[in-house]
């Protein structure tokens, strides 16, 4: 009985705006129909009616001319590393024992991380990091970038059938490897793109850079009609393998693996039937003004001069707080009216009526069918599953991506969508929420 009442409430509340609009339109038509026979021959009435019609047409024309262009995601392709680059659990542990032979505590720490990481036997590292000890250089890093990016781009071009010369906008995001010539220039040169292609590189933005690039592409497509935009999302890890013994800097060695994705976006209405997805909202929450957030992930040198990525102990707390802020921004855009009202009533009761109520967490399962949580680690997925009250099925794609490919940084979200598609779970009309952070 209670469940039926709740469903009735949600159905009624969610359709109130539509019912109200239909009622107003119906009332206006009835009133006009009643008045029309008496004023049909009245010149003033004819002038007023004509003016009203022209005004209505002008408003509609202004709305459609200034309406944001719909952005379509035509297709995407993920890099699949060759099996010869695999790093099974036994190999990773053996290498840790050899490289850190004089630091048994550091070896023990890495073994614990491997055990708890959620990574499987198929994750891969670039060729240069298989050497003992690894001594990566700039050439090795470029080789990795070419292997990952060109493979993903070749797959994307083959899947979509477009020519490189059709690409109007190119955006590449890679946080820690920013060579000269740039990675985007490398892509332009390889595929002989047009001289007027708008190319950009985003660096230093971590695992969230993939969605930031999508937002950037969306904004560019709003001002460049009838265009194609390609976003390449990757992290080149060859030059960023840590060779020291600081524990906070050894964790990325255990989690990060090779990966990348290429995504084709467009605002061409002719591609609507061919596109896989429509981009609805992109919401970014930046906590860089807070010192703890600013310092939670840093590239730095240890006491012995070894460069690596240091992860702060407060990382999970900071990520949780950032997610709460992001939810407050995206909630009004996607949640049904029933959930928004429940949230407002709860907030009003706690803040103004001083009622002893727990903060109401909206049920985002009513807004989204699928969830792509950045596969940063098992603890990250566990925490977000708990916070958003998701089922095991909702986070399966994230867990399986982590298990099969490891933490591929900004491209992990695309491996997750690829997993859902391969399982046949993505249906027409369903919404997907991609959650990335750093």
Q: Is 286 assigned a catalytic role?
A: yes
Taking the alpha carbons at both ends of the chain, their separation in whole angstroms is: 44
User: Cα–Cα distance between 148 and 78 in angstroms, integer?
Assistant: 9
Within a 10 A sphere around the Cβ of 90, how many other Cβ atoms? 10
Q: Which of 11, 48, 97, 286 is catalytic?
A: 286
User: DSSP letters along 184-221, please?
Assistant: HHHHHHHHT--TT-EEEEE-S-GGGHHHHHHHHHHHHH
User: Cα–Cα distance between 392 and 365 in angstroms, integer?
Assistant: 13
Q: Which of 253, 267, 370, 394 is catalytic?
A: 370
57: exposed, middle or buried (Cβ count in 10 Å: 0-12, 13-18, 19+): exposed
Q: Which of 39, 130, 224, 403 is catalytic?
A: 403
Three-state DSSP at 43 gives helix
Tokens representing residue 113 in the block: 């991380």
Q: Is 48 assigned a catalytic role?
A: no
Q: Which of 78, 124, 374, 394 is catalytic?
A: 374
Q: Which of 78, 174, 207, 372 is catalytic?
A: 207
H or E element in which residue 307 lies = strand 307-311
Tokens representing residue 185 in the block: 């220039």
Three-state DSSP at 396 gives helix
Q: Which of 173, 240, 253, 407 is catalytic?
A: 407
User: DSSP letters along 239-260, please?
Assistant: GG---S--HHHHHHHHHB---E
β pairing state of 260-266 and 228-234: antiparallel
Q: Is 306 assigned a catalytic role?
A: no
User: Cα–Cα distance between 404 and 418 in angstroms, integer?
Assistant: 12
Angle at 366 between CA 64 and CA 21, to 5 degrees: 40
> Which backbone phi and psi does 175 adopt, to 5 degrees?
-70, -45
Q: Is 15 assigned a catalytic role?
A: no
Q: 305's torsion region: left (phi>0), alpha (psi -120 to 50) or beta?
A: left
Bridge partners (DSSP) of residue 172 are 201, 232
Q: Which residues are catalytic?
A: 207, 286, 370, 374, 403, 407
């Amino acid at each position: 009985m209670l469940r039926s009442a709740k469903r009735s409430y949600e159905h009624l509340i969610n359709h109130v705006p539509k019912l109200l609009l239909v009622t107003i339109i119906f009332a206006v038509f009835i009133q006009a129909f009643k008045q029309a026979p008496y004023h049909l021959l009245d010149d003033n009435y004819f002038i007023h009616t004509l003016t009203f019609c022209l005004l209505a047409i002008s408003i509609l024309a202004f709305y459609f001319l200034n309406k944001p262009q719909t952005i379509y995601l035509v297709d995407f392709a993920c890099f699949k590393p060759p099996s010869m680059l695999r790093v099974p659990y036994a190999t990773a542990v053996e290498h840790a024992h050899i490289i850190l032979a004089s630091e048994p505590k550091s070896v023990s720490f890495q073994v614990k991380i491997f055990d708890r990481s959620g990574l499987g036997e198929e994750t891969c590292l670039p060729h240069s990091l298989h050497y003992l000890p690894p001594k990566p250089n700039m050439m090795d890093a470029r080789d990795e970038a070419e292997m990952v990016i060109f493979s993903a781009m070749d797959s994307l071009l083959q899947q979509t059938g477009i020519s490189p010369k059709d690409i109007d906008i190119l955006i590449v995001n890679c946080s820690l490897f920013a060579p000269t010539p740039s990675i985007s220039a490398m892509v332009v040169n390889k595929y002989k793109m047009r001289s007027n292609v708008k190319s950009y590189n985003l660096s230093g933005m971590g695992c969230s850079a993939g969605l930031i690039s999508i937002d950037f592409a969306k904004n560019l497509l709003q001002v460049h009609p009838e265009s194609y935009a390609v976003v390449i999302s990757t992290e080149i890890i060859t030059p960023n393998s840590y060779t020291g013994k600081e524990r906070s800097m050894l964790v990325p060695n255990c989690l990060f693996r090779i990966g990348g994705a290429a995504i084709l976006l467009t605002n061409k209405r002719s591609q609507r039937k061919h596109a896989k997805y429509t981009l609805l909202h992109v919401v970014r929450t930046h906590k860089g003004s807070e010192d703890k957030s600013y310092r939670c992930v840093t590239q730095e040198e240890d006491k012995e001069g070894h460069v690596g990525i240091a992860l702060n102990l407060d990382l999970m707390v900071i990520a949780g707080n950032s997610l709460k802020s992001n939810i407050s921004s995206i909630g009004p855009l996607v949640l049904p009216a029933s959930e928004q009202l429940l949230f407002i009533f709860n907030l009003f009761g706690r803040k103004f009526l001083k009622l002893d109520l727990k903060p109401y967490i909206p049920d985002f399962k009513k807004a989204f069918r699928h969830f792509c949580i950045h596969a940063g680690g098992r603890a990250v997925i566990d925490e977000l599953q708990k916070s958003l009250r998701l089922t095991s099925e909702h986070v399966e794609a994230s867990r399986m991506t982590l298990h099969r490919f490891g933490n591929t940084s900004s491209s992990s979200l695309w491996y997750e969508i690829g997993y859902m598609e391969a399982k046949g779970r993505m249906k027409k009309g369903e919404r997907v929420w991609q959650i990335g952070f750093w």
